[in-house]
Structures are given as C-alpha cells and as structure tokens.
C-alpha cells in the first residue's frame, strides 16, 4: 500500500483534501479511496506517464537565467489533483464576477469623470503615484465599456479554510493554458476517475475567450480578424500565447507582423498581402505596445497602434491603461469599490493590507517587519518581496529604507499560512502549500473558469508558488458530489 | 497566412529535410566504406565538402577520420547542417508556429529532437550509428507523413513542400557533384566492380538504387545514373521531380508571377540538358548553375512572401 492517509499530517492547517486523522473531505473521498488502492508501482507508473505526457506534449515554461539566456523547462506537475466542491465554488465564482465588474467600472471611471475620487472613496494621491495610469487613455470609450477583458485573480485560503483574494492581475495574466494542459495530462493519466466522478470540464475556455474578443470587433463581421500579439518565442509565457492562438484558430502575431496604414487601421503582413486586423489580444505590456506613444525604444510594438485604437479602428484586450487597477495599493480599495459602484458587500474578502503611503499604517509596518510580508505595488511573479519572518535583519533594514524612500510603492500583509494539499514526494504524500488562479472573462457576459490554475510550492514549508521560483502545479477539479 | 509563419514553415521543412539527407548520407557512406578494397583509403572529408561547411570543420577539427566527420555532421551544434542542429532549428521553427501545424506533428518533432540529443553518444559510436541514423530517418519520415495526413493542404502546406523540395534538389546536386568529382572515374568502360559500388552508393545516398533499377532497367553506369538523378520525373529525389513539386506549389499561391517565371526557366534548363554527356568539369559547372538558380528562387520566394510591406506612399 503506497499512500497511507492515516499517516498524512495536516499540521493543524487547512488541507484541501483531508480533514485530518486520515478522513477525506466529502468531495475528495472518491479520489482518496482510489489512490489508496494503487500500489507503489502503479503510482510511480502514473507519475511517469504524466511526465512523459508533459514532455511529449511539449508543455514548457521559460526561465530567465542570470546569463541572459533562457532555458525551456518541462512544466513541474503533481498528479494528485486539488478538489473543490461545486457548492463552495459557486459562491467563489459569484465573488469573482462581482470583483471583475467593479474593477472594470473603476478603470472606466478613472479615465472619465473620476467620480470615485470626487466622492472621496479613492484618494487622488494614490492615482497620482500610479505607475500604470495612462494619460493617453483619458476619455477613451472602449467597446462595451470593458477595459480588463481578461483578469486573473489569485485566491488563497488561510489555515481556517477561509478564501481570500490575494491580488488581481489585469495586465497580461498568464497561466490559463497550463490549466487546460493539466487537464489533458490528467485525462491521459487517470481516465477512469473522469468516468467515475462528476468532474466539471474546463475545455470551453478558448471558445469563450474567442467570443469575448470577437464581441469587441469594430467591424461587425461574422468572423472578425482576431489575433494574439506575443512578444515572441523568448517570452516566458510564449507557450501559452501559441496555445491560445491555436485553440482559438487565431493568428499568433508579433509586433513585426503588424503595420498601421495611413488610414489608421492595423494590418498584418501575410502571404496574400496586407490583411486588416480587428481585435488584438495583446500579451505584451502597455509600455511596449507602441513605440510612438510609449517607450520609443521598444522593438516589440507596432508604431501607430495607439492611434488606431483611439480612433476605434482596432480593439485591444486588455485595453491599454487597464493595469491601473493592477496595483497592490489599488487592490486594498477593491471592497470599497464594490460598495461604491455596485452597492454590494464584497463576497470574497481581501487579505488585510497595510498601505505604506499612509503614515499611521507605515509606522505599524516598520514596527512589525519581522511579522509581515512586504510587496512592491507593481511587481509580479513574486519578485522584489520581503517575507519578514524568514528574512535576515539586514534584509529587513534594507526594506525599511526602501519603504521610507518610496512609501507609495509598498504594501504589507500578514504572512498567511496557506492551505495545503497532498503532494507526491518520492514514494509518499506530504502536504504542500498552494494557491489558485481563476480567470475571469468580461464582455457582454462575465464568465469564470471552472476552477483555475492551482500552483503549488514544491519545496517543503515554502509558500512561494511561482513557477520561476520552484513552484509547480496541480489540476483543479470542481466536483459536483451532490449531482453524482 | 502570416508571412512570418509561412517563412517558419518553409524553414522547418528545409531543416527536417536537411537532417534526413545528412543522416542518409552518413549511413550509406558507412556502408560503402566496408565494401571498399583495403588498398583504397576513403576520404571522409568528402562528406564535409558535400555539406559545404569545410571551413568550419577545419577550424574545429584536426583529424579527418570517420569519428570526427561523423561527430561534425551528426552531433556538432556549431555546425548549422548537423543532424541535431538541423532538428533543433526545425523544432525552433515549429515552436513558433505551434498554432499552425497539427499538434501530433509538433509532438513528433519535439520528441525526435529530444531523442536525438539525448542519445547522441549512440549515434557517435560505430556500433550504434546505424540504428541511431535509421530511426532519425524514420522519425523525419513520420513527421512528413503526419503533416501530409493531418495538416490542411493550404498555403502553409505549399510552403512546407516548397521548402522540402528546394532543400532536396539542392542536396541532390551536392551529392552528385562531390561524389562524382572526388571518387569516380569518368570512363563508362571501366567496369571495375569498385566503380560500380561507388555509383550504387551515389544512388543509395539518395535512396535511389531500387527506383533506378525499376526505371532504367540497366546496369548502374555513370551516364544513366546522371540522367536519372537530374531528369527523372517520377523519382522523388531526382532534381527535376523536386523542382516540379515546387512549381505545383507555387501555382496555388497568390502573387506568384515572379517565382513561377524562375522555376519554369529552371525546369526548361534541366529538361533541355544532356547530363549523361557532361565531362567532370562540365558537370561541376552545370551543378553550380543549378545551385545558383535554386538560390535565386529562394530569394524570390522570400521577397514575394516573407517580407510584405506597406505600399510606398506617393
């Protein structure tokens, strides 16, 4: 017998599959029973099958090395899925939709009347210090009033099992292709489980994404020309760009494939000649979009693209400037935004957040650096953070300096003890910390992925789940145990 | 279809073909060497000359024996024509067009590339070489078959076949050129079995021996072999056949005036030629001309389809 659930230590934390004492949660019962029946050899065989599938399918991600070269690595994957009961998921889904709606209204407001500032709900100073507010976007009306068509919000659970939103990624959130590929791998490895249980499918994402993008086409065509704009093969998320383009049947283009004509329309260079482009799902940052409007040194962008967008000749998703809400300081205000725009209470709570811009809160942060996690407002990928309890005194002193120098750019949060899930380590299972990134599509309707990408910290005790820093992933199963 | 994508498909096909050709060449040569009389020393350098990377070879190797030549041609990443470098380039090109080629074909390219890199030691050893190269060839043929069987036969497929056949035509001329110049005597009357073996090896480098026998139904002789390899319409690795394939692809593509004009010129030039009568010197000159034409066709295709620009504003 390979997996002995009775010996699995939940450590007094919330575990996604196990209640403790070897008793599985209701939605995970079928899985735990199934795994228990597998012999050591069978488990290793499944693991090997998953690794083979990943290699053969060419699921990779790119890590930047110190030397500036990048390495393509196979995607680290754990074969034990994370399971969430559908009843619980339904309320998380409602919370995410509510959040995406409020965030879009907030962005639209900032580029128009700025009512939320005039009504003293959101401080002007914070907007003034925002690195992702784009003056070029003031007064622009993107189709349907939507700015962030694709949003990836990170969810975590604390040790009591309560779900919090940790951050909202509204610039170019990535990971959805791994969610889709993880499912493909699992179907190859555990086909019998998919027959046995009611595991909700995730595969409709690409077609929903296409519909969401096609709906904002400036030309009312049955099949508008939708393209995915990638920085290119050396980007860490290139795999995903190619994958989504392929799944949507859209062209995957690079900046050099596009050109803006004298008519301020965007064209792609094709074998047939120049073809007009209607919608660009861009996976490059604002600053690199258009060397005429932003960074003039950008080799990735398309000169004149902003001009074409402002004239409404092409749609961009996410819209330029949407990143203003992708800021950990702005994040702290989301519950207030929900109340302000929707007149509702936030369904999903934020993690308690201290704003270093505020004098009183800053003093608290500086006094408790050994207990808090400090994050820069605009970084992603887990870079540039201080994990107070694990840092050296010297590191904390350095951070204190950084905070004093640029308080607007830092927030602090208590160190959450993230929930765990059983993860295969050698020949047995151990608890490993994880989070969840669902994706929210906003268009005529709002849609949330069924589950999302579960990222797991493969290092014992670690809570850093980023793939660039030793994280891996698991398939996420939303299980309807009542219906089954 | 995006210009860049067309270009990637084109190069992917060329690199896959290049890997296969190189693998075939080495396998056949290794075989030939075993049959040569002990008095004859085989010049392994020949193979390097065929690929056109002699300078690069000389810069990096001192010995010119089978070990270093095979290492250079199979496993040296510095050599843009080596098997593993070609496969790697094919894979890189395929990677950027994963949204175009069928997933299983991509998986096969990826798999073949990783397998060739992972088992390189086998390919460099004398015992393992044959098997290694054989499954490399099998792997490239699998890719070709998968693409033929699962990819839309649209413009992308035309670029794929164009790339493959231009590369193939080029390789055929190189093999004829170098092999005949350095190894073989011109006299068709010289019936030494040794010469016979060499001409057979030329055919076998192009997997043409069996097809030659079926088509020509004569003994393996220089004039017939040359006629067969340059002008046969049905043998896939004959020069004429390969450029006819290119022509049929170009006919399906838009804006094809320029490239078509060049390819029909080349077709006429080959069908009007009398390769069987060429002396060694003339043959070499003829091959040079053909290669220059192929280069010109490549440039024309590249200018027409791979670099599309806005019309100049008046």
CB spacing of A259 vs B313 below 8 angstroms: no
Percent of chain B, pLDDT > 70? Answer: 93
What are the domain boundaries of chain A? 90-164+200-342, 354-414
Q: Do A269 and B5 touch (CB under 8 A)?
A: no
Find, among A320, A240, A243, the residue nearest to A280 by Cα: A320
Closest partner residue to A271 among B6, B98, B111, by Cβ?
Answer: B6
Weakest-pLDDT range from A227-241, A293-307, A461-475: A461-475
CA distance A99 to A106: 10
B4–A257 C-beta distance less than 8 A: yes
Residue range A175-187, pLDDT digits in tens: 999 999 999 999 9
**CB-CB neighbors (< 8 A) of A250 in chain B:** 99
Q: In the numeric block, which tokens belong to residue B202?
A: 């030329």
Q: What would the mean pLDDT of B270-286 be, rounded to a whole number?
A: 92
Q: Which residues pair with A422 in a beta bridge?
A: A431
How far is the CA of A184 from the CAs of A78, A190, B167, in angstroms? Answer: 13, 10, 37
Nearest CA in chain B to A60: B95
SS3 of chain A: the string is CCCCHHHCCCCCCCECCEEECCEECHHHHHHHHHHHHCCHHHHHHHHHHHHHHHHHHCCEEEEECCCCCEEEEECCEEEEEEEEEHHHHHHHHHHHHHHHHHHHHHHHHHCCCCHHHHCCCCCHHHHHCCCCCCHHHCCCCCHHHCCCCEEEEEEEECCCCCEEEEEEECCCCCCHHHHHHHHHHHHHHCHHHHHHCCECCCCCHHHHHHHHHHCCCCCCCCCCCEEEEECCCCCCCHHHHHHHHHHHCCEEEEHHHEEECCCCCEEEEECCEEEECCEEEECCCHHHHCCCCCCCCCCCCCCCHHHHHHCCCCEEECCCCHHHHCCHHHHCCHHHHHHHHHCCCCCCCECCCEECCCHHHHHHHHHCCCCEEEEECCCCCCCCCEEHHHCCHHHHHHHHHHHHHCHHHEEEEECCCCCEEEEEECCEEEEEEEEEECEEEECCCEEECCCCEEEEECCCCCCCCCHHHCEEEEEEEEECCCCC
- Stronger pLDDT, A482 or B73, i.e. the higher one: B73
Q: To probe the interface with B, which of A236, A271, A277, A304 has the most B CB atoms within 10 Å?
A: A271
Write down the pLDDT at residue A429: 92
- Contact list in A for residue B92 (CB cut-off 8 A) is 233
Its pTM stands at 0.79
Note the Cα A81 to chain centre separation in Å.
19
Contacts of A57 in chain B (CB under 8 A): 103, 107
> Quick one: angle between helices B103-118 and B126-150, nearest 10?
170
What pLDDT, on the 0 to 100 scale, is given for residue A250?
92
Contacts of B106 in chain A (CB under 8 A): 58
The reported pLDDT for the residue numbered B56 is 95
Residue-level pLDDT at A3: 87
Contact A56 B110 (CB under 8 A): yes
Structure tokens at A433: 């910390």
Residue A129's pLDDT band (cuts 50, 70, 90): confident
Say yes or no: A398 contacts chain B, CB-CB below 8 A: no
Is the pLDDT at A65 greater than 50? The verdict is no
Q: How far is B10 from chain A (nearest CA, A)?
A: 12
Task: Determine the distance in angstroms separating the CA of B264 from the nearest CA of chain A, rounded to an integer.
Answer: 21
Contact A57 B309 (CB under 8 A): no
Beta carbons of B254 and A251 less than 8 Å apart: no
Q: Do B1 and A271 make contact, defined as CB atoms within 8 angstroms?
A: yes
> What is the nearest CA distance from A244 to chain B, expressed in angstroms?
8
Residues of B in contact with A246 (CB under 8 A): 98-100, 103
Lowest model confidence (mean pLDDT) among A121-130, A291-300, A368-377: A291-300
Most confident of A287-296, B190-199, B233-242: B233-242
Q: pLDDT higher for A427 or A350? A: A350
B91 to chain A: closest CA residue: A58
A233 interaction partners in chain B (CB closer than 8 Å): 92, 95-96
Q: What is the pLDDT of residues A324-358, one digit of tens each?
A: 999 889 999 999 999 999 999 999 999 999 999 99
Q: Can you give the pLDDT at residue A69?
A: 44
User: Would you tell me which CATH number, out of the four given (3.30.1490.270, 3.40.50.720, 3.30.465.10, 1.20.1260.10), belongs to the domain A354-414?
Assistant: 3.30.1490.270
Contacts of B4 in chain A (CB under 8 A): 253-254, 256-257, 269
Q: Does domain A90-164+200-342 have CATH number 3.40.50.10210?
A: no
pLDDT of residue A484: 46
Would you place residue B238 in the very low, low, confident or very high pLDDT band (cuts 50, 70, 90)? Answer: very high
Q: What pLDDT was estimated at residue A483?
A: 53
Residue A57 has pLDDT above 50, yes or no: yes
Least confident of A204-218, A252-266, B45-59, B77-91: B45-59
Nearest Cα residue in chain B from A227: B2
For the ranges A208-217, A374-383, B9-18, B263-272, the lowest mean pLDDT is seen at A374-383
- Contact A188/B at CB under 8 A: no
Tell me what the pLDDT averaged over chain B comes to.
Answer: 88
Tell me which chain A residue has its CA closest to the CA of residue B2: A270
In 3D space, the residue among A463, A370, A417 whose CA is nearest the CA of residue A11 turns out to be A417
Question: Which chain A residues are closer than 8 Å to B6 by Cβ?
Answer: 271
Percent of chain B with pLDDT over 90: 61
Q: State pLDDT tens for residues B132-183.
A: 999 999 999 999 999 999 998 999 999 999 999 999 999 999 888 877 765 5
Give the C-alpha separation, B63 to B65, whole Å. 6
Residues of chain A neighbouring B309 (CB-CB closer than 8 A): 259, 269
Q: Please indicate whether, in this complex, the C-beta atoms of B155 and A271 are within 8 angstroms of each other.
A: yes
The residue among A196 and B56 whose pLDDT is bigger is: B56
DSSP state of B302: I
Of the ranges A336-345, A391-400, B35-44, which one carries the lowest mean pLDDT score?
Answer: B35-44
Work out the average pLDDT over A388-411. 91
pLDDT category, B200, cuts 50, 70, 90? Answer: confident
A267 and B310 within 8 Å at the Cβ level: the answer is yes
Q: What is the reported pLDDT for B38? A: 72
Q: Kindly indicate the confidence band of residue A469, based on its pLDDT and cuts at 50, 70 and 90.
A: confident
B5 — contact with chain A (CB < 8 Å)? yes
CB atoms within 10 A of CB A24: 21
Query: Is B111–A271 a contact, with Cβ atoms under 8 angstroms apart?
Result: no
């Amino acid at each position: 017998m390979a997996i002995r659930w009775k010996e699995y230590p939940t450590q007094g934390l919330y575990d996604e599959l196990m209640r403790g004492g070897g008793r599985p949660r209701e939605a995970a019962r079928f899985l735990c029973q199934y795994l228990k029946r597998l012999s050591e050899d069978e488990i290793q065989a499944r693991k090997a099958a998953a690794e083979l599938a990943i290699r053969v399918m060419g699921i990779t991600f790119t890590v930047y090395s110190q030397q500036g070269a990048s390495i393509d690595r196979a995607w680290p994957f754990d074969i034990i899925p994370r399971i969430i009961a559908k009843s619980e998921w339904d309320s998380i889904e409602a919370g995410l939709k509510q959040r995406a709606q409020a965030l879009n209204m907030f962005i639209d407001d900032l580029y128009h009347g700025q009512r939320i500032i005039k009504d003293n709900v959101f401080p002007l100073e914070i907007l003034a210090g925002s690195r992702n507010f784009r003056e070029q976007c003031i007064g622009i009306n993107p189709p349907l009033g939507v700015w962030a068509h694709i949003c990836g919000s990170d969810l975590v659970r604390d040790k009591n099992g309560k779900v919090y939103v940790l951050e909202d990624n509204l610039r170019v959130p990535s990971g959805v292709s791994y969610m889709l590929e993880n499912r493909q791998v699992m179907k190859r490895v555990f086909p019998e489980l998919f027959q046995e249980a009611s595991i909700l499918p995730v595969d409709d994402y690409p077609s929903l994404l296409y519909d969401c993008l096609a709906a904002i086409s400036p030309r009312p065509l049955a099949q508008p020309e939708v393209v995915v704009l990638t920085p290119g093969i050396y980007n860490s998320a290139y795999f995903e760009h190619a994958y989504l383009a392929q799944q949507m049947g859209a062209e995957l283009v690079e900046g050099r494939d596009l050109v803006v004509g004298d008519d301020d329309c965007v064209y792609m260079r094709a074998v047939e000649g120049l073809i007009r482009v209607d919608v660009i799902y861009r996976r490059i940052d604002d600053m690199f979009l258009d060397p005429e409007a932003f960074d003039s040194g950008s080799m990735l962008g398309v000169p004149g693209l902003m001009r074409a967008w402002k004239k409404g000749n092409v749609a961009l998703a996410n819209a330029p400037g949407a990143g203003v809400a992708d800021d950990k300081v702005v994040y702290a205000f989301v519950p207030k935004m929900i109340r302000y725009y929707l007149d509702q209470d936030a369904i999903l709570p934020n993690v308690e957040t201290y704003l270093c811009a505020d004098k009183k809160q800053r003093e608290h942060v500086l006094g408790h650096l050994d207990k808090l996690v400090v994050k820069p407002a605009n970084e992603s990928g887990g870079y540039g953070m201080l994990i107070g309890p694990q840092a050296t005194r010297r590191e904390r002193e350095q951070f204190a300096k950084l905070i004093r120098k640029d308080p607007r750019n830092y927030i602090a949060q208590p160190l959450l003890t993230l929930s765990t899930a059983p993860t295969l380590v050698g020949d047995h299972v151990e608890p490993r910390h994880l989070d969840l990134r669902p994706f929210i599509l906003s268009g005529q309707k709002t849609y949330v992925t069924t589950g999302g990408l579960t990222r797991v910290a493969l290092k014992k005790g670690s809570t850093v789940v980023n793939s660039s820093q030793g994280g891996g992933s698991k398939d996420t199963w939303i299980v309807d145990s009542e219906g089954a | 279809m995006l210009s860049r994508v067309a270009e990637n498909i084109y190069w992917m096909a060329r690199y896959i073909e290049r890997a296969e050709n190189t693998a075939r060449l080495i396998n056949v040569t290794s075989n030939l060497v075993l049959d040569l009389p002990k008095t004859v020393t085989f010049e392994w350098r020949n193979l390097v000359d065929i690929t056109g990377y002699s300078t690069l070879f000389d810069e990096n190797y001192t010995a010119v024996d089978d070990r270093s030549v095979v290492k250079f041609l199979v496993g040296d990443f510095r050599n843009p024509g080596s098997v593993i470098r070609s496969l790697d380039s094919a894979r890189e090109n395929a990677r950027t067009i994963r949204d175009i080629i069928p997933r299983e074909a991509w998986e096969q390219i990826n798999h073949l590339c990783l397998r060739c890199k992972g088992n390189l030691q086998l390919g460099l050893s004398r015992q393992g070489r044959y098997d290694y190269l054989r499954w490399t060839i099998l792997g490239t043929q699998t890719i070709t078959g998968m693409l033929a069987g699962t990819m839309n036969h649209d413009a992308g497929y035309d670029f794929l076949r164009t790339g493959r056949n231009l590369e193939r035509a080029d390789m055929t001329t190189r093999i004829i050129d170098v092999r005949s110049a350095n190894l073989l005597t011109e006299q068709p009357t010289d019936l030494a079995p040794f010469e016979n073996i060499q001409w057979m090896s030329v055919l076998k480098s192009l997997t043409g021996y069996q097809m030659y026998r079926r088509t020509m139904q004569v003994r393996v002789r220089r004039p017939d072999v040359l006629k067969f390899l340059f002008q046969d319409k049905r043998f896939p690795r004959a020069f004429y056949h390969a450029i006819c394939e290119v022509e049929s692809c170009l006919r399906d593509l838009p804006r094809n005036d320029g490239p078509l004009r060049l390819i029909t010129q080349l077709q006429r030039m080959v069908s009007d030629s009398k390769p069987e009568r060429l002396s060694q010197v003339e043959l070499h000159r003829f091959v040079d001309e053909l290669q220059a034409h192929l280069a010109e066709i490549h440039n024309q295709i590249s200018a027409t389809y791979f670099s599309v620009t806005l019309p100049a504003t008046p």
